[in-house]
Amino acid sequence: MSQQQLIYGIHPVQEALTSDAVIDRVFVEKGKTGLDEIRKQCQEQEIPVLVVPSFKMDRLTRKNHQGVVAIVSPVEFALLDEVVTRVFEKGEVPLVLVLDGVTDVRNFGAIARTAECAGVHALVIPQRNAASINEDAIKTSSGALMRIPVCREKSLRRSMEDLQNFGLKIVAVTEKGTDSLFDTEMDGPLALIMGAEDTGVSNELIRMSDSLAKIPMDGVTSSLNVSVACGVALFESVRQRSLK
């Protein structure tokens, strides 16, 4: 795996959890005891905990990790409501990109690069079932992940409700859509949802969406790579905004 800043061992991880370090996620070894306090701290701070077998821990580090390794995030996560509030205060029209289950690091990095180029104000990811923000992601994004606010949310459903209360239209890009993306109004305050390549946008978020849009395709291949689909959708919104 690519090099990341790791903190390993029970006491160092506990100290990191009480410091100003931004912890992306914590790995604990399956069946390992004595980690209850760390689990509790992670739960209180809403930090994802991944329980993995010993060989996975050894892939992270060969040093004496005592069954626990913390990954330090290279970016500081932003608060979604604060980002959207600032956008409105500046007199701008919010454009938010929500990634529902995108776990491939390189796809994530490519999406972040496209999003920053398109003027996206916030990139929203779930706490769980999301790509890690590591060196590979940052490199693939050409550094865009260091420039665009990333909001890691415990509940995407609740986040979508908050965005709707702010007045944003929720558009899910999905093959289940009945309307063409190019016929969908996306020139106002917008939250665009992109799903994982294998499962797409979750049914829960589809039910919450104001519009379901699909990208028209003439070829035999059933779907686009998610980062390519994201570029198509984002720049259709950019095109529509440019006409106002």
Domains of the chain: residue spans and CATH: 6-72 (3.30.1330.30), 80-242 (3.40.1280.10)
Specify the DSSP element, H or E, that contains 81: helix 80-89
pLDDT reading at 3 higher than 70: no
Kindly state the tokens that stand for 134. 């590591």
When pLDDT is averaged across residues 203-216 and rounded to a whole number, the result is: 95
Percent of the chain with pLDDT over 70: 98
What is the predicted pLDDT for the residue at 5?
Answer: 84
The C-alpha atoms of residue 215 and residue 208 are separated, in whole angstroms, by 20
For all residues of the chain together, what is the average pLDDT?
A: 92
What is the predicted pLDDT for the residue at 229?
Answer: 95
Whether the predicted model's global pTM rises above the 0.85 cut: no
Asked if 150 and 125 touch (Cβ cutoff 8 Å), the reply is yes
What is the predicted pLDDT for the residue at 201?
Answer: 95
